[in-house]
A and B are shown apart, each in its own frame.
Chain A
């Protein structure tokens, strides 16, 4: 993005060379880049009286806040509540002896993720600051994990996961381009495969899914299934047939205009009434997933519609002039261009959906947030809500933040808007 110092109005002029009255254009040397910490502080923090005061006030507020936070985390908090409930946070009421299924899925994702990261053309430039923060975070993460996990097996599996991802990263770097096609196919198959692993062969019904696992799976399911529906709705909204267009508009506006919580509760109480009486009522969670899918599809439709609008009219004309049928035109010419430009918005929508999965508590699903809340209500750890919330919040945040960063890098690489 462009210069962040664009006029804030809180600041005096940075020196601008002006023509002096002697009518000689004086060539002014470019502003010296601050090199020492003192110079830098002067330029960025204390460049004027007003600025200086602002810095002091902000710094003291920040200092106070950090002090309180650190005091809480290291002194006041009782982290045993997290340690004791870790399984609940991770998978909720999932039966303990079936958790191997979750581990297998996690390893699958780690393998694919590592390979993709390695094979990607996205290179992170490892500046000194980045390496320093990166290693610090990695060490901190490892320490936290060791402190919180009490079972040796889980600890080993956890570190094994990280190691696998790292290994796959190296492998991905080595294989690069040859992996691109197979990886795309692999990712597309990964979700159905995970479903088979978790549910198949005497597996665990969705009714028992919970914790962090549930949030991730629900969001992924939502995106996967709503994607094709959303594309159809977007095409319908742009159709020249009024009936199709009206239907799409009404569908989209109704699902977008009502909060997800209301839809979830609707799915629990009302969907059953609308089904034929001979049919046995599907479990709550299935109904909720269906409703959530339509909800997500409405948003996807709007995103895709934006993408379609970005495709030049001439592309449609050229395709038609060549004799391509409407379906082929869409499949080979229009949609590939439209969808590529929507990738950042799609990722943003996925993040929103992922955050929204916390709302499933409304239909008695014990996702990560609900697990966090419940663990602070039992006798043993009564009132320890701050610790559990902080932990749960952090887990949610890490995923959302990483995805958002990734999306920002993608946006730059795709040069969205340039073609």
Chain B
């Protein structure tokens, strides 16, 4: 990729991945992924399990270390430099499939833990922010409950609020609704849609085709460690170019 593209023209490229590869022992999970994400763009990644989708987004915030290629987030290159890693992480928020809320803390404490201990916000400021975010995701009344007392959909919304509390520029979603009962999926997707429309840069790994069609700016197919096709949703779903995409779509639609 040309150096200028990596540098970014003005504010457009939030995430740049250049020929990213990753091995787990002898197994190659990522076979050279190259892609970009522009500011305020929402990218949805689909694909069969084992295709490397989760692995890829986890390399973006260094939960996994990429073995080859380059990753640049908001102009900062992701390397072994602890300062770089720390800066990158502070710009990215992540939402997990299994929510991973801290069970021993209340909802409010879950949300305020990181701002108070990483950004050193005073307690009052953090708690006000937490309440704001809980309003935004629609469950302000749950602030003093414990995660175990909430439904799955509510827990995931808290997880989103927790990630947003750090005021990230980018949000990563790793199959956010896969562990939810069907009736709760909508409430989470609605929150994610509102987030996308408010201008957040998002990468979402998901099987929710409706969401992809409706909200995504671009849809990507991963298969067997490769980025097979990427296109705006209309073209992706209605006029796929690659055979692999056609096969995948025929299996899920």
Touch A–B, Cβ below 8 Å: yes
Give the B-binding residues of A (Cβ under 8 A).
312, 314-315, 317-325, 328, 332-333, 336-337, 340, 419
Contact B118 A321 (CB under 8 A): no
Given contacts A315-B102, A333-B102, A340-B104, contact A322 B63 (CB under 8 A): no
Q: Is the CB of B96 within 8 A of A337?
A: no
Nearest CB on A from B16, distance (A): 20
On whether the beta carbons of A332 and B117 are closer than 8 Å, the reply is: yes
> Is B86 located at the chain interface by the 8 A CB criterion?
yes
Q: Which residue of B lies closest to A325 (CB)?
A: B118
Interface residues of B in 68-126 (CB under 8 A from A): 86, 89-90, 92-94, 96, 98-104, 113-114, 117-118
B interface residues, tally (CB under 8 Å): 25
Q: Establish whether residues B166 and A322, one from each chain, have CB atoms under 8 Å apart when the complex forms.
A: yes
CA distance A325 to B96 in the complex (A): 19
Q: Which chain B residues border A320 with CB–CB below 8 Å?
A: 63, 89
The majority secondary structure among interface residues of chain A is helix
Judge if B163 is at the interface, Cβ distance under 8 Å. Answer: yes
Interface membership of B53, Cβ < 8 A:
no
B35 at the interface (CB under 8 A from A): no
* CA gap between A325 and B98 in the complex, in Å: 22
- In the complex, what distance in Å separates the CA atom of A317 from the CA atom of B98? 11
- From A315, A323, A336, A340, contact of B118 by CB (8 A): A323
List 21 A–B pairs whose Cβ atoms lie within 8 Å, in order of A's numbering: A312-B98, A312-B100, A314-B96, A314-B98, A317-B100, A318-B94, A318-B96, A318-B101, A320-B89, A321-B93, A321-B94, A322-B166, A323-B118, A323-B166, A324-B114, A325-B118, A333-B102, A337-B102, A337-B104, A340-B104, A419-B148
Known contacts A328-B117, A332-B113, A337-B104: A323-B148 contact under CB 8 Å: no
B103–A323 contact, CB under 8 A?
A: no
B42 CB–A CB distance under 8 Å: no
17 additional A-B residue pairs with CB within 8 Å, beyond A321-B63, A321-B89: A314-B98, A314-B99, A315-B102, A317-B63, A317-B100, A318-B100, A318-B101, A320-B89, A322-B114, A322-B118, A322-B163, A324-B117, A332-B102, A333-B113, A336-B104, A337-B103, A340-B104
A325 CB contacts on chain B under 8 angstroms: 118
Nearest 10 pairs between A and B by C-beta? A318-B100, A314-B100, A322-B114, A321-B94, A323-B118, A323-B89, A336-B104, A314-B98, A328-B117, A323-B90
Residues of chain A within 8 A of B101, CB atoms compared = 318
Across the interface, which residues of A come within 8 angstroms of B61, CB to CB? 321
Residues of A within 8 A of B159 (CB): 318
Q: Is the CB of B100 within 8 A of A315?
A: yes
Residues in chain B near residue A322, CB distance under 8 A: 113-114, 118, 162-163, 166
What residue of chain B has the Cβ atom nearest to residue A318's Cβ?
B100
Chain B residues closer than 8 Å to A337, beta-carbon distance: 102-104
Known: A317-B63, A322-B118, A328-B117. A419 touches B103 (CB 8 A): yes
Q: Find chain B residues with CB under 8 A from A333 CB.
A: 102, 113
Q: List, in ascending order, chain B residues with CB within 8 A of A317's CB.
A: 63, 96, 100
Instruction: Write out the residue numbers on chain B whose beta carbons fall within 8 Å of the beta carbon of A318.
Output: 94, 96, 100-102, 159
Closest chain A CB from B13 CB (angstroms): 22
